[in-house]
Amino acid sequence: MSAVVDDIVRRLSVVAEGDAGIAGKVMKFDGGEDGVVVIDATVRPAKISSTDRPADCTVMMAAPALRQIVTGEGSCGATYMRFVRGVEGQQGLAVLVQPLLRRAAAAAAQAPR
């Protein structure tokens, strides 16, 4: 697990609330050698971790690209288009989880620099 994944998990954990838009499901971003970011919405509030486990939807994208979304450096739609290498399982979860990613980006924008 890399420092980038650590940072993403920390940022998402701060803003995770309720079912994260994917009630009852588990969603995973697979960043290859950097590790994984798992959003577990089988519990409330959704739990964010870097511990690998089976998921209902897995999005393969480099961790630095995912970090761009959660820090607000790139929009979800455009970054997905450019950097997603593959999607497995229930594809729609990848879109439904985006409000959580945007909340992290909004929090980053408000954070003192």
Partner 1 sequence: MSAALSKAAPESRHPTAFVDRIVRNAWYVSAFRSEVGQALLPRKILGQPIVMYRTAAGRLVAMRDSCPHRFMPLSRGRLYKDGVRCMYHGALYDETGKCIEVPSQHEIPAKCFVKTYPTAEVERWVWIWMGDPDKADPALIPDKKYLGMGTEGFRSVDIKHRVGQARYHLCNENLIDDTHVTFLHMGQFESGGRVHTPPETTQIDRWVRTRWFDPDEKISNYFKMEFDVDYDRAPRALVGHFCAPATHCVWIEVYDPKNPDKMPKTLRIAFCFTPESDTTTHMFVCESRNYRTENAEWDEFMRESFHMIQSQDLHAVEGIEYVMQNSHELPEEVSFRADASVLRARRLINEMLDKEAAP
Please, what is the minimum distance in Å from the beta carbon of residue 97 to partner 1?
Answer: 8
72 belongs to the binding site for partner 1 (CB under 8 A): no
Q: Which of residues 88-107 bind partner 1 (CB under 8 A)?
A: 88-92, 94-96, 98-99, 102
CA angle 31, 111, 108 (to 5 degrees): 30
How many DSSP H helices and E strands does the chain contain?
5, 5
Query: Residue 90, class by beta-carbon neighbours within 10 Å (0-12 exposed, 13-18 middle, 19+ buried)?
Result: middle
86 belongs to the binding site for partner 1 (CB under 8 A): yes
Which residues, in sequence order, are bridge partners of residue 87?
59
Please name the helix (run of DSSP H) or strand (run of DSSP E) that holds residue 38, with its range, or none: strand 36-40
Rule CB under 8 A: choose which of 1, 14, 87, 107 binds partner 1: 87
Tokens 């229930």 appear where? 90
> Among residues 71 and 98, whose Cβ is nearest to partner 1?
98
User: How many residues sit close enough to partner 1 to count as binding (CB under 8 A)?
Assistant: 23
21 belongs to the binding site for partner 1 (CB under 8 A): yes
Rule CB under 8 A: choose which of 26, 48, 65, 76 binds partner 1: 76
